[in-house]
Structure 1
Amino acid sequence: MALMFVAALPAHAVIVTDERGVAVDFSQPPQRIVALLPSLTESVCALGACSRLVGVDRYSNSPELVRALPQVGGGLDPNVEAIVALKPDVVLLAKSSRVTQRLEQLGLKVLVLEPKNHADVQRVLDALGQMLGVDDAQRVWRAIDASVSAAAQSLPPEARRTRVYFEINSTPYAAGESSFIGETLTRLGVKNIVPTALGPFPKLNPEYVVRANPDLIMVGERSAQGLEQRPGWSLIRAVRDGHICRFTAAQSDVLVRPGPRMGEAARLMAQCIVDQSK
């Protein structure tokens, strides 16, 4: 991820350099914001600016307040006309979005932010805080960090030897050590069976998981259907012993979003590890 920095300008104006290396200037804090990534929506709200949101992507559902906002489609390919109609001061979106250039051609201000690991989350919170004119945006990061540490401290020593497979979806895509999920697992003291070398969210050959033979599987209930019937998976220690945590849709939302609820995600993972190590 490109390093973002904020340069101060007179009269409370700021320049934020986003992940593209593009400098986006704000003569004053934006009052009408469209967020096209759930983690960005949640971060804006955590910084106390939920009331400035005028539109979100279809997956943004937390906090409860944002559910009443206009939805402008998916984050990758949203409805450009619907966004323009909301007359935003800025549109927050991911680097993977396909509409960035189109929005800029239409005269809209765009800020590209896509956190993928813990350090990214910290930097994104800082950039958003500067854009919003919020003092001490890092208070949100400190709360996340403290919650992850508390979750780690809640684990008994014997649980820290657990070898974990975290499945993102049944393709299967997994959370590797270098992902924000993997970083949280590392801080909890357990061993991720997907090493950094494979990337943050690699698509795996299902046989890889069989060979790795994890002690514990973490998976969303939406992806867990038929898991035990996958070829060879009945031989996996976690499957054989029933050590599978199936997270609800709401819990999965918490777990797969790199933002303010990562402390809650750590608690969910820690509780899973404790429950399945008994």
Structure 2
Amino acid sequence: MKMKRSIQSILMIAAVTMLILTGCSTDNGDGEANGDEPSAQGGYPMTVVDSLGNEVTLEEEPQKIVSVSPTLTETIFAIGAGDKMVGRTEYCNYPEEAQELEVIGGFADPNTELILELEPDLVFSSGPVPEESLALFEGSDIDVLVIDGKTVDEIMENITKLGSILSVEDQAAQVNEEIQSEREEVKDKLGDVEAKRVFVDLGNFFSAGSGSYIHSIIEDEIGAINVAGQGEGEWPMMSLEQIVEADPQVYFYTPMGDEELEEMEGLKDTTAFVEGNVIEVQMGSTENDIMTRAGARVGKTIRFFAESVYPEAFE
């Protein structure tokens, strides 16, 4: 049976795509992802090189912050600097306190005028900011920093840098200790398990390929094999034939409209479907959020994937 497609599913895929690209990837202007950590030289004035290689000098410690990234919003709260935030996107739903902040639009289309009205010292983004918006921010003496990470090590480095920028170094260190502790606990549990083949279906076979945050979690942190890692680009659209040939043993999927995966010829005969290792991750769920946000809850992301792929190791 062919997968049913609807306008709703197409729109949902577009939303997921923008969420992931905004929350989990940056580009250095040459078409290549920039994995360099933001660097800061302690004290103020402080010079910071962000994830796009932009050098920004912060004259004073930021007191009013706007975040246009759900990833960075929850990370800022996690390190104890949430009291400095004055604005967030409509998708910044965690922690609960963040929902009390002024909404400045979506992550893909933040309202520059609303941001200017809040008079922040600093705007954080996890992706490139349009030149027109940058010019308006610069004209109002508002600094902009792009902070992004694609691996757990990069995420922890970013947390350290955010702690330095916002003068909450001790809290940032504590968050990193918790991440590292959970990371090591999972590795100990997994031991020498045999690598399983995993496919993450973000909607109509759109997936996370090599160079993505999800790929790093699957391959580097839990030692599994990411089927989409063989696809083209960081966010490949896989074909049914490619997936069936790879025969995933575990299949994660985000429902999109009226699709019926379990009835699809070929797919229903893969190991994941035959053995019942198909994991539904609803849009808006905690699991969906931590899968697409490379931030302070990355320890929970690692555990979620590990327990889902290798449940026998946690019995």
Deviation at 1:157, TM superposition (A): 4.9
Superposition CA RMSD, Å: 2.6
TM alignment of 1:1-278, pairs within 5 A: 1=34, 3=36, 4-8=38-42, 12-98=44-130, 100-107=133-140, 108-136=142-170, 137-155=172-190, 157-158=192-193, 160-167=194-201, 169-186=202-219, 187-195=221-229, 198-221=232-255, 225-230=259-264, 232-248=266-282, 249-275=285-311
Q: Which moved more, 1:104-113 or 1:61-70?
A: 104-113
Which stretch of the first structure deviates more once superposed, 17-26 or 260-269?
17-26
Q: Aligned equivalents of 1:134 and 1:196: distance in 2?
A: 40
- Structure with higher RCO (Cα < 8 A, 6+ apart): 2
Paired-residue identity, %: 27
The offset of 1:117, in angstroms, is: 2.5
Provide the TM-score with structure 1 as the length reference.
0.87
Whether contact under 8 Å (2:46, 2:57) holds in the other structure is: yes
124-133 or 191-200: bigger deviation: 191-200
* Aligned residues between the structures: 274
- Give 2:205's aligned amino acid: P
Q: Deviations over 1:103-144 (max 9, x none)?
A: 434422111122223233133223312211222434423321
Change (3 A) 1:47 1:166: same
**Structure 2 spans left out of the alignment, 5+ residues:** 1-33
Q: Distance in 2 between matches of 1:259 and 1:2?
A: 15
What residue identity is the alignment partner of 1:53?
M
What is the distance in 1 between the residues matched to 2:256 and 2:69?
Answer: 21
Q: Distance in 1 between matches of 2:68 and 2:272?
A: 37
Partner of 2:14: none
Amino acid at match of 2:176: W
1: CA distance, partners of 2:234 / 2:183: 19
SS class of match (1:214) = coil
Q: How many Å separate the matches in 2 of 1:124 and 1:117?
A: 11
